[in-house]
């Protein structure tokens, strides 16, 4: 039998894990949108903390021939995610309430938000310049299409300016009349900025980024996620950030039906791929002999395009 007894470690002086590149920007706000920001208030751990945690669970075996970068990449590739929970970060965020409403759906963070019951609402609302108004997308019910025409943009920005001024004036009038802050705020627009401390571990932060950095996320939260990823996480845990970019952000995954269609495409060509796509419900044949491309069909085309392969339909 191997000796697996483990003595209590002798006392040693441990240095706190730190990331000098992140230390250099601690407290520095990164501007986001017209009046928002994100800054790092505090953090715990670095790339080494992830490796250290993984090695505790795997024992000595992984030390051999596996440097920190390789181990982190292995963990990310195989979704061994608990070692990433050893790192924590606390951000100070200022965002418009409509962005914050999406942000707060991520339930695994600890949050304290500026209280508009206790304090006067922040006197700042997100404004759009005339060229920032986006029209409703016709292809995606949840997204924007192109920019509004110039003249419409000017009109919308002017309307916004008046509305913000009126909403704020009404709020301040109520406060001056002695109305409580918790009720006076009820008609403030969603564009009003709020602030919060948001503390999250790296595993859940990367999950947040995987949902809020891609194009499918609304631009207004995407710019916050981009700032967190590219300005903060990249400095804090560069090895984990690179692995995340390679195996999560930039990865393309295929479902079982998609694999079947792509196999048919590679082995037998576009006709066979279309047959498989009809059978698997990616295409719906129409009476005139054409095919209606259903959502999964469009999503598969988009994936193939990323390989430079034209859509088989
Ligand atoms: C592009 C996009 C469009 C969206 N559209 C809508 C919409 O139209 N309507 C809408 O309501 N929401 C919408 N959302 C929000 C979305 O449905 C999620 O609520 C949000 O993204 C948080 O994701 P999450 O639950 O995975 O993350 P988190 O809350 O950060 O949780 C992380 C992970 O922890 C686990 N977890 C956390 N809490 C629980 C729990 N209670 N039970 C089980 N597991 C848990 C899950 O594995 C979860 O994935 C949208 C999000 C995106 C990115």
CATH of the domain at 226: 3.30.1360.170
Averaged in consecutive runs of 10 residues, what is the pLDDT profile of the chain (313 residues)? 72 88 98 98 97 78 66 96 97 98 98 96 96 87 86 96 98 98 97 98 98 96 98 98 97 97 96 96 95 95 94 93
User: Do 166 and 287 fall within a single domain?
Assistant: no
* Active site (annotated) includes residue 212: yes
How many whole angstroms from 200 Cα to the centroid of ligand 1? 15
Predicted pLDDT at 6: 73
Query: What six digits make up the tokens of 235?
Result: 């400095």
The answer to whether 95 and 63 are in contact (CB under 8 A) is no
User: Do 175 and 302 fall within a single domain?
Assistant: no
User: Do 207 and 180 fall within a single domain?
Assistant: no
Predicted pLDDT at 63: 56
User: Do 98 and 195 fall within a single domain?
Assistant: yes
Phi, psi of 197 (to 5 degrees): -95, 130
What's the rounded Cα separation, in Å, for the pair 299 and 305? Answer: 10
Query: What six digits make up the tokens of 137?
Result: 């997308």
How many whole angstroms from 208 Cα to the centroid of ligand 1? 9
Q: Please indicate whether residue 206, judged by its CB atom, sits closer than 6 Å to ligand 1.
A: no
Predicted pLDDT at 9: 77
Q: Whose CA is nearest to atom 4 of ligand 1?
A: 217
Q: Please indicate whether residue 79, judged by its CB atom, sits closer than 6 Å to ligand 1.
A: no
Q: Whose CA is nearest to atom 17 of ligand 1?
A: 105
User: Do 139 and 287 fall within a single domain?
Assistant: no
Q: Please indicate whether residue 222, judged by its CB atom, sits closer than 6 Å to ligand 1.
A: no
The answer to whether 92 and 41 are in contact (CB under 8 A) is yes
Q: From the candidates 94, 126, 203, 212, which is the catalytic residue?
A: 212
How many whole angstroms from 217 Cα to the centroid of ligand 1? 12
Predicted pLDDT at 65: 43
Which residues, at least 6 apart from 160, have a Cβ–Cβ distance to it below 8 Å?
A: 127, 128
Q: Whose CA is nearest to atom 27 of ligand 1?
A: 106
How many whole angstroms from 105 Cα to the centroid of ligand 1? 6
- Cβ count within 10 A of residue 161: 12
Predicted pLDDT at 8: 82
Nearest atom within ligand 1 for CA of residue 216: 1
User: Do 42 and 167 fall within a single domain?
Assistant: no
Say how many Å lie between the first and final Cα of the chain, rounded: 62
In this structure, is residue 6 part of a structural domain? no
Q: Whose CA is nearest to atom 39 of ligand 1?
A: 107
What's the rounded Cα separation, in Å, for the pair 127 and 191? Answer: 8
Domain that holds residue 264: 256-306
What's the rounded Cα separation, in Å, for the pair 129 and 154? Answer: 8
Q: Please indicate whether residue 95, judged by its CB atom, sits closer than 6 Å to ligand 1.
A: no
How many whole angstroms from 41 Cα to the centroid of ligand 1? 25
Q: The whole model's pTM is what?
A: 0.92
In this structure, is residue 66 part of a structural domain? yes
Nearest atom within ligand 1 for CA of residue 217: 1
User: Do 53 and 111 fall within a single domain?
Assistant: yes
Q: Please indicate whether residue 217, judged by its CB atom, sits closer than 6 Å to ligand 1.
A: yes
Mutate to test the pocket of ligand 1, among 100, 107, 213, 214 (most ligand atoms within 8 A of CB): 107
Q: Please indicate whether residue 207, judged by its CB atom, sits closer than 6 Å to ligand 1.
A: yes
Predicted pLDDT at 61: 46
Mutate to test the pocket of ligand 1, among 98, 101, 108 (most ligand atoms within 8 A of CB): 108
In this structure, is residue 242 part of a structural domain? yes
Number of separate domains in the chain: 3
In this structure, is residue 313 part of a structural domain? no
């Amino acid at each position: 039998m191997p000796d697996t007894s483990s003595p209590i470690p002798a006392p040693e002086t441990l240095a706190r894990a730190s990331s000098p590149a992140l230390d250099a920007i601690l407290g520095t706000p990164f501007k986001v949108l017209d009046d928002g920001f994100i800054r790092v208030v505090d953090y715990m751990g670095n790339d080494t903390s992830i490796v250290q945690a993984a090695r505790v669970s795997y024992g000595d075996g992984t030390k051999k021939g596996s440097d920190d970068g390789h181990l982190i990449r292995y963990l990310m590739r195989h979704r061994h995610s608990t070692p990433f929970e050893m790192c924590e970060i606390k951000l100070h965020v200022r965002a418009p309430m409509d962005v914050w409403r999406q942000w707060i759906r991520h339930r695994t963070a600890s949050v304290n938000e500026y209280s508009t019951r206790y304090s006067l609402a922040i006197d700042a609302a997100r404004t759009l310049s005339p060229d920032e108004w986006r029209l409703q997308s016709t292809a995606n019910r949840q997204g924007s299409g192109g920019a509004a025409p110039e003249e419409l943009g000017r009109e919308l920005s002017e309307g916004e300016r008046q509305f913000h001024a009126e909403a704020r004036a009404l709020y301040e009038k109520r406060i001056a009349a002695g109305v409580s802050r918790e009720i006076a705020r009820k008609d403030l627009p969603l564009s009003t900025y709020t602030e919060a401390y948001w503390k999250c571990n790296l595993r859940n932060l990367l999950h947040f980024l995987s949902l809020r950095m891609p194009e499918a996320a609304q631009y207004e939260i995407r710019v916050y996620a981009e700032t967190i990823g590219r300005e903060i996480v990249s400095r804090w845990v560069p090895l984990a950030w690179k692995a995340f970019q390679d195996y999560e952000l930039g990865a393309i995954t295929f479902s079982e039906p998609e694999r079947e269609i792509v196999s048919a495409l590679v082995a037998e060509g576009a006709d066979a791929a279309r047959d498989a796509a009809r059978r698997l419900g990616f295409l719906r044949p129409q009476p005139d002999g054409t095919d209606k491309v259903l959502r999964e069909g469009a999503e598969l085309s988009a994936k193939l395009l990323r390989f430079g392969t034209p859509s088989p339909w």
